[in-house]
Amino acid sequence: MVENVKEAIKEIYGIEEVSEASVAAFWSVLSDLSDREERIFRLYYGLDDGHRRDLLEISKEFGVTRERIRQILSKGIKKLYHPTRMRRVTCGDSGVKVNDPNKIYDRLEDADLSPRSYNCLKRANINTFNDILNLSIKDLIAIKSLGKKNFQETLAFVGENIFRIKKDY
């Protein structure tokens, strides 16, 4: 079964060598999906029993069409491709630690932001920490779909990085 997990990681992320840390991270990332998405992934890639199932077999089990199963897989893969999840799997233990106290995050991809915060900021063409610093609080509040919780998360991210910058000078 471990080989099936490694094959799934290779297929989804295009990695040549899959470490044990990547396998552990993949299980963690897989649990981020909805229960239905996770179950479909487990069946499609044969993660539980080593037997891969095709879309028709899965659709019969769930009582939906093959096309609906394909859509659910596609949606799940988009979630797995989110930069924070992808980095967890592709870097394993050797990658940049998300909460590294000595790291100033220049790019949003390197920050530990929730997918919603990340996507809202990207849609607003905010790609770097510096882009956030150039915004006023009013501009941040005006970002479409950011919401109160994600706004607070973004402010916390800015605050942490400002303190890191001040410590370096």
**Do 120 and 76 share a domain, yes or no?**
no
**Domain membership of residue 118 as a residue range:** 108-168
pLDDT over threshold 50, residue 100: no
Q: In this predicted structure, what is the pLDDT of residue 166? A: 41
Alpha carbon distances (Å) from 102 to 95, 96, 162: 15, 11, 12
* Residue 128 bridge partners (DSSP): 107
Q: What is the CATH number of the domain that holds 12?
A: 1.10.10.10
Residue 153: inside a domain: yes
Distance CA 90, CA 107 (A): 18
Q: Which residue has the tokens 């916390």?
A: 156
Alpha carbon distances (Å) from 108 to 23, 55, 84, 113, 166: 25, 36, 10, 8, 20
**Do 87 and 7 share a domain, yes or no?**
yes
| Neighbour tally for 119: CB within 10 Å | 16
**Do 86 and 117 share a domain, yes or no?**
no
Which of these three, 94, 119, 147, is where a domain ends?
94
The alpha-helical segments, DSSP class H, found in the chain are 2-13, 20-30, 35-45, 55-62, 66-80, 83-91, 115-123, 129-133, 137-141, 147-168
Distance CA 152, CA 168 (A): 25
Task: State the DSSP code for 21.
Answer: H
Residue 103: inside a domain: no
Q: Residue range 96-114: average pLDDT?
A: 58
- pLDDT, tens digit (0-9, with 9 covering 90-100), for 49-75: 889 999 999 999 999 999 999 999 999
**Do 123 and 54 share a domain, yes or no?**
no
pTM for the model stands at 0.56
Reported confidence tier of residue 124, pLDDT bands at 50, 70, 90? confident
Task: State the DSSP code for 95.
Answer: S
